Chain A
Amino acid sequence: MRETFTKGMARNIYYGGGVFFFLVLIGLTVDTVRGLPKTDNSQNLTEEVAAGKRLWEINNCIGCHTLLGEGAYFAPELGNVYTRFGESTDAIKGFIMSRPKDGIPGRRSMPQFNFTPDELEEIAQFLKYVDGIKVARDWPPNKEG
């Protein structure tokens, strides 16, 4: 073992490097959060959208779908579903309502959630809002998501 590879120095690099890069991460986070209003579509973040997000969460939509590429990969991307469905919240609502209760034989199918008309509107508005987020390079690459 080389004498001049000391544990003390290795330890200092671990703590020093860790703290240093953590501080850099915090700094970048501050910058990011301050800059977000330009891209995060928060001007359209209404009560209705917030309620839609809650519905999105308590029905665990992320367990099959992806939203901006994150989630499960079992069902289509929904970050751009508003665009894909011809910028129509009615089309989104219609799709959610149309799901058969017992599924489609042999195929994947979204469950029937029995949403009320208000809830449907909230979900649709939420998806519209997500579509309005200005994502770098306009991800996903095309409307298929």
Chain B
Amino acid sequence: MKYQSQSIAKLYFIAAIGLFVGQILFGVTLGLQYVIGDFLFPEIPFNVARMVHTNLLIVWLLFGFMGSAYYLVPEESERELYAPWLAKLMFWIFLIAGALTILGYLMVPYATLAEITMNDLLPTMGREFLEQPTITKIGIVIVALAFLFNIGMTILTGRKTVISLVLLTGLIGLAVFFLFSFYNPDNVVMDKYFWWFVVHLWVEGVWELIMAAMLAYVLIKVTGVDREVIEKWLYIIIAMALISGLIGTGHHFFWIGAPDYWQWLGSIFSAIEPIPFFMMTLFAFNVVNKRRRDHPNKAAVLWALGTAVMAFLGAGVWGFLHTLAPVNFYTHGTQITAAHGHMAFYGAYVMVILTMISYSMPLMRGKQAGNARAQVIEMWSFWLMTVAMVFITLFLTGAGILQVYLQRYSDTPLGFMATQDKLEIFYWAREGAGVIFLIGLFLYIYSFFAKGEDVVMPEAAVAS
């Protein structure tokens, strides 16, 4: 760590990990509700638990992105953060707003929450992932603007690198596309169409830019490979992501009342959506293979490679699996979607933030890398979480295929609930994998406190 203000990232990362734990606890609860239907009913019904699960994910990923940006940008720009106090202030505002929102979900019925937050004035609540009260949404915009101002001023008045500029465009896109969440027409088709301008253009658009920039940054640091080489890769990968992903939005417009041509456009463009992820794997493998030094932080290298592979698997392969219109006709809105969603979010976004944390946290604590024992524990947590996620995905895929067959493909289709009963074995297995994931997560947290011998590597003196 070269600049004092980078240490603000620590605050954000701690919050991110804390919320991550909350997310997984609710995930495990949800998994149980799948098999024991009345678990915690009516105190915490499924919809509330799910809302907490997904909203915590979004909030902690945003914390992670912001923390990463606060760490990465000063170093790239070669100057202190423009306004460290603003970053700290926004942290507390965002944390308190986020916590209040989650408490609101849990403490009062959702309809009451809508009433007390005066949803009637500007109704935006009650749509998947955008359940936040309107006032929270406005808060998110304010926090995002303050954050962008802070980051933008730091970048523009300092050294401008490709990584920081790509990160900045990604973050601006994140803020801009979020504005569509305020558009909630009575017309359901219009509502759904523009809802994807937030959701798709986030996760399959601008977030990919953020992710690629962060991955590139860590790879430069841990491998010592020439910045020039990495920047070219970065540009090409994100160019491919935008070329395929923008029109690829069409794969969400198949069955919501939009024109038929989306079936073709969406299928054709999303068929090439795996390519950027494929290239990301190629890129990460190549850079690590060509590394100029062995960084003492082995765990960070593992996370970086894992991100590339799991993003390809979750977003690329599992996305492609059900993206073509003739396939999606049967799989749309089944457990296949859930399978893809889990692995894609974990592989692309959770892991890239954990990569950033893994790399930067030791530096913020005044070390090159965690001690040997801590790293071993962290790598264990990597494998536990990753393998658990692979199995969650496989079980949900199995459940989805069976669901499609019984409920949609068969000549004598079963009803929804009758089908769900037949999937129970998969849901139990998924719950088991979920518990393993939770154990992995606890191990991950433990790794920050594990004592042991420091890793000393002579070549590493140049690092960071």
Binding site for B on A (CB under 8 A): 1, 5-7, 10-11, 13-14, 17-18, 21-22, 24-25, 28-29, 31-33, 35-36, 39-42, 45, 49-50, 53-54, 56-64, 66-77, 101-109, 111, 113, 129-130, 133-137, 139-142, 144-145
Inter-chain CA distance A77–B332, complex, in Å, is: 11
Q: Is B416 an interface residue (CB 8 A)?
A: yes
Q: Is B442 an interface residue (CB 8 A)?
A: no
What is the minimal beta-carbon distance from B117 to any residue of chain A, in angstroms?
Answer: 10
With contact pairs A10-B232, A14-B238, A24-B247 given, residues A74 and B38 touching in the complex (Cβ less than 8 Å): no
Taking a contact as CB atoms under 8 Å apart, the answer to whether A68 and B162 are in contact is no
What is the chain A residue whose CB lies nearest that of B411? A142
Residue in A25, A59, A102, A103 whose beta carbon sits within 8 Å of that of B110 in the complex: A59
With contact pairs A11-B162, A103-B38 given, residues A57 and B123 touching in the complex (Cβ less than 8 Å): yes
Inter-chain CA distance A71–B263, complex, in Å, is: 20
Residue in A28, A66, A113, A134 whose beta carbon sits within 8 Å of that of B257 in the complex: A134
Residues of chain A with a CB closer than 8 A to B260's CB: 136
Q: Which of B395-413 contact A (CB under 8 A)?
A: 407-409, 413
* Tally of B interface residues using CB under 8 Å: 78
Taking a contact as CB atoms under 8 Å apart, the answer to whether A17 and B239 are in contact is yes
Inter-chain CA distance A142–B34, complex, in Å, is: 24
Residue in A36, A58, A101, A109 whose beta carbon sits within 8 Å of that of B114 in the complex: A58
Inter-chain CA distance A50–B47, complex, in Å, is: 22
Residues of chain B with a CB closer than 8 A to A31's CB: 259
What is the chain B residue whose CB lies nearest that of A21? B246
Residues of chain B with a CB closer than 8 A to A103's CB: 37-38, 41-42
Binds A, one of B90-98, B182-190, B431-439: B182-190
Inter-chain CA distance A49–B47, complex, in Å, is: 23
What is the minimal beta-carbon distance from B123 to any residue of chain A, in angstroms?
Answer: 6
Residues of chain B with a CB closer than 8 A to A57's CB: 114, 123, 125-127, 184
Residues of chain A with a CB closer than 8 A to B41's CB: 102-103, 109, 111
Q: Is B346 an interface residue (CB 8 A)?
A: no
Residues of chain B with a CB closer than 8 A to A77's CB: 333, 416
Inter-chain CA distance A28–B260, complex, in Å, is: 12
Residues of chain B with a CB closer than 8 A to A102's CB: 41-42
Interface string of B248-268 (1 = CB under 8 A from A): 011001111111101101000
Q: Which of B166-198 contact A (CB under 8 A)?
A: 166, 184, 186-190, 192-193
What is the minimal beta-carbon distance from A54 to any residue of chain B, in angstroms?
Answer: 6
Residue in A10, A13, A21 whose beta carbon sits within 8 Å of that of B247 in the complex: A21
What is the minimal beta-carbon distance from A59 to any residue of chain B, in angstroms?
Answer: 5
Interface string of B93-123 (1 = CB under 8 A from A): 0000000000000000011001100010001
What is the chain A residue whose CB lies nearest that of B249? A25
Q: Is B362 an interface residue (CB 8 A)?
A: no
Residues of chain B with a CB closer than 8 A to A56's CB: 126
Q: Is B36 an interface residue (CB 8 A)?
A: yes
**5 closest Cβ contacts across the A-B interface?**
A63-B47, A57-B126, A69-B333, A108-B37, A10-B235
Taking a contact as CB atoms under 8 Å apart, the answer to whether A136 and B255 are in contact is yes
Inter-chain CA distance A18–B249, complex, in Å, is: 14
What is the chain B residue whose CB lies nearest that of A71? B128
Q: Is B236 an interface residue (CB 8 A)?
A: yes
Taking a contact as CB atoms under 8 Å apart, the answer to whether B408 and A58 are in contact is no
Taking a contact as CB atoms under 8 Å apart, the answer to whether B46 and A74 are in contact is yes
With contact pairs A57-B127, A63-B48, A108-B417 given, residues A17 and B255 touching in the complex (Cβ less than 8 Å): no
With contact pairs A22-B246, A24-B246, A32-B193 given, residues A109 and B38 touching in the complex (Cβ less than 8 Å): yes
A-B contacts, 19 listed (Cβ < 8 Å): A13-B236, A14-B242, A24-B247, A50-B186, A59-B110, A62-B126, A64-B47, A67-B188, A68-B192, A69-B333, A71-B333, A103-B38, A107-B37, A108-B420, A109-B37, A133-B189, A139-B329, A140-B333, A144-B408
Inter-chain CA distance A61–B45, complex, in Å, is: 11
Taking a contact as CB atoms under 8 Å apart, the answer to whether B333 and A66 are in contact is yes
Q: Which of B205-239 contact A (CB under 8 A)?
A: 226, 228-229, 231-232, 235-236, 238-239
Inter-chain CA distance A39–B256, complex, in Å, is: 10
What is the chain A residue whose CB lies nearest that of B258? A32
Q: Is B334 an interface residue (CB 8 A)?
A: yes
With contact pairs A75-B416, A76-B417, A144-B413 given, residues A40 and B188 touching in the complex (Cβ less than 8 Å): yes
Residues of chain B with a CB closer than 8 A to A135's CB: 255-257
Inter-chain CA distance A50–B231, complex, in Å, is: 50
Residue in B33, B123, B128, B238 whose beta carbon sits within 8 Å of that of A108 in the complex: B33
Taking a contact as CB atoms under 8 Å apart, the answer to whether B128 and A58 are in contact is no
What is the minimal beta-carbon distance from B267 to any residue of chain A, in angstroms?
Answer: 12
Inter-chain CA distance A54–B228, complex, in Å, is: 52
With contact pairs A18-B242, A142-B408 given, residues A58 and B125 touching in the complex (Cβ less than 8 Å): yes
Q: Is B50 an interface residue (CB 8 A)?
A: yes
